[in-house]
Amino acid sequence: MPLSEYPLRLAVIIGSVRKDRFGPTVATWLMTRVEGRDGLETDVIDLADLQLPADLGGGGDTAGFLKRIDRADAFIVVTPEYNHGYPGGLKTAIDTGRDEWKAKPVAFVSYGGTAGGLRSVEQLRPVFAELQAVTVRSAVSLHWADSLFDERGRMLDPERPESAVDTMLRQLEWWGHVLRAGRGRGDCPG
């Protein structure tokens, strides 16, 4: 039984912004799984399309970005790994908001070389905890990601990664509905 008849508003955040990045390939594949599910209304936020000042002083696309984060009930962060960490632009985007993230669940799809972006995810969890967001246990990590897709961006051996996405989405949806109901009953303290 669905936890709510109202669709969950899911924002998918593409965290890499560099030229010739692989992130959109991963995000496009992820969206094929997300769009096949009932009860989700999605907004893809590609940080490469936005100007978010690193001094956190507002301006640029700050107001529009915060409106989209505020509107969302749940997030999936798509992140690579750069030198054992996540991209600086992603940190700026996260720090641009505060209460917009609060009492909402965050799931991760990471990718990279040998570690599949797992180190980025482990570093992102305490960042979101500080914002009182709840990170979902099951993450999806793609090791040597560029070898997993053909030149048209199709996943070569999709069974396991797709099953990992589905597990992650089920957890995200559960938290998304529960926390939305909780937010409706009053502000999370702090």
Ligand X SMILES: Cc1cc2nc3c(=O)[nH]c(=O)nc-3n(C[C@H](O)[C@H](O)[C@H](O)COP(=O)(O)O)c2cc1C
Minimum CB distance to ligand X smaller for 18 or for 170: 18
| Range 3-62, binding ligand X (CB under 6 A) | 16, 18, 21-23
Pick the closer one to ligand X by CB: 25 or 134.
Answer: 25
For residue 140, the minimal CB distance to ligand X (Å) is: 15
**Minimum distance, C-beta of residue 113 to ligand X, in the bound complex (Å):** 3
CA distance 10 to 3: 15
* 85, two tokens: 């960490």
Q: Which residue shows structure tokens 């409106």?
A: 67
For ligand X, which is the closer residue by CB, 114 or 157?
A: 114
Of the pair 75, 111, the CB lying nearest ligand X is at 111
- Considering only residues 1, 35, 63, 83, which one is a binding residue for ligand X as defined by CB under 6 A? 83
Residue 108 makes contact with ligand X by CB under 6 A: no
Residue 183 is a binding residue for ligand X (CB under 6 A): no
What CA–CA distances, in Å, run from 116 to 51, 110, 184?
27, 6, 37
Q: Which is nearer to ligand X, 14 or 169 (CB)?
A: 14
In the stretch 111-150, what mask flags binding to ligand X with x, by CB under 6 A?
Answer: xxxxx-----------------------------x-----
Our finding on whether 81 is near ligand X (CB under 6 A) is: yes
Site residues (CB under 6 A) for ligand X? Answer: 16, 18, 21-23, 80-84, 111-115, 145
